[in-house]
Amino acid sequence: MDRREFMKSIGITGAAALLSNPDELEAKTTWAEHFQKAFRLMTDDEKDQAIKRLEERYSEEHGREVKVGKEPAMDGVLFGQALNIQKCIGCRRCVHSCVKENNQSRHDPQGNATEIEWIRVVKMEKGNFSAEDRDHGHPFKKGEEYGISEGGHAHNNVGVVLEGEHYYEPKKVPEKDSFYFPIQCHQCENPPCVKVCPVKATYREADGVVVIDYNWCIGCRMCMGACPYWARRFNWGEPNIPKDDLNTDTHYLGNRPRMKGVVEKCHFCLQRTRKGRYPACVEACPVGARKFGNLLDPESEVRKVLERKRVFRLKADLNTFPKFFYYMD
């Protein structure tokens, strides 16, 4: 090779390197994927093609065979979930099982991705009402029987608002005088997040689950601002899913690997529930605090809870009509 050829080859290689896409993942995304329709407007053939493309890409990216399902909502089913706050011990097993089942991003020590958890468990103080202290104010000191709440118990948290601890790390749960309040998407019947989405990438399915078409989401975060329960999460970085931890059984509208710049949230484990299985959080709960079922079926666990137990709703005045309830025995 003479000098001229050598210089020429360097020039060509350099130009090729500059023109090629350095982002490997993005480079693998085909044009067809960029220009595909919204999932719910696709014909069956188009859906099959889109799913095939995704399966090929995911399998190549993660080095394992990934299946992407498209099971539709079942007829005569409206999903709902109820959580017993008296039973919950705050172990966060639901959180971890949800992360694993739904391919949520794990913490990356390199700083390229942050951890995403769809369920957040808030630790709260148990309200303790004492009849003896009823007439004392706060602060209560001998000789200074006055205070900001004479005759009341304003200084004792009676658990009305979620003013709790979000990042508790005890050696043992449950802790004394504490109760736990897991929060996730409430799958509202009247979802404010759906109303504000400018591209209709998020919508309510016939079985009552609010889903997101990740390929259609533009990452504007309007839905996050609209959600009164702060149940949506945003992928600021490229999600980090270790190869061995990837759940290869996925659903297009559910737990398939997401990309950077899209919003995600709980979807009652569509990939499981539409095949007649319980969501991962329900299965993982060691104390059986979570009940899941069909709200249209009077014999379902969740309907029985609604009929017989003391049920709470979060922020009822917003008229979102959530299908996620809290209850006490």
Partner 1 sequence: MPADYSKSDIPEDFVAAKKESSGNLSAGQSQSKRRFISKTVLTCLSIISTAEIARRVSFKAVKLEIENSSLNDIAKGDSILENRAYVVMTDNEKQTMITSLVDKYNKPGK
CB of 226 to partner 1, least distance (A): 11
Give the x/- contact pattern for partner 1 in 147-166, rule: CB under 8 A: -------------xxxx--x
> Of these, 29, 234, 249, 261, which contacts partner 1 (CB under 8 A)?
234
> Of these, 228, 249, 259, 304, which contacts partner 1 (CB under 8 A)?
228
126 sits near partner 1 (criterion: CB under 8 A): no
316 sits near partner 1 (criterion: CB under 8 A): yes
204 sits near partner 1 (criterion: CB under 8 A): no
| Residue partners of 81: CB distance under 8 A and separation at least 6 | 187, 268, 279, 282, 290, 291, 292, 302, 323, 324, 325
CB of 230 to partner 1, least distance (A): 4
Q: Return d(Cα 216, Cα 121) in angstroms, integer.
A: 30
Q: Is 135 exposed, middle or buried (0-12, 13-18, 19+ CB in 10 A)?
A: exposed
3-state SS assignment for residue 250: strand
Q: CA dist 187 to 69, 192, 222, 232, 322, Å?
A: 21, 10, 17, 11, 6
74 sits near partner 1 (criterion: CB under 8 A): no
CB of 120 to partner 1, least distance (A): 7
Q: Return d(Cα 251, Cα 275) in angstroms, integer.
A: 11
Judged by CB under 8 A, the stretch of 28-36, 107-115, 125-133, 266-274 that binds partner 1 is 107-115
Q: Return d(Cα 320, Cα 247) in angstroms, integer.
A: 32
User: Between β-strands 290-294 and 249-251, what pairing exists: parallel, antiparallel or unpaired?
Assistant: unpaired
Instruction: Closer to partner 1 by CB, 36 or 84: give it.
Output: 84
Which chain residues interact with partner 1 by CB under 8 A?
A: 3, 7, 10, 14, 78, 110-114, 120, 122, 160-163, 166, 183, 189, 224, 228-230, 233-234, 236-237, 295-296, 303, 306-307, 310-316, 321, 323, 326
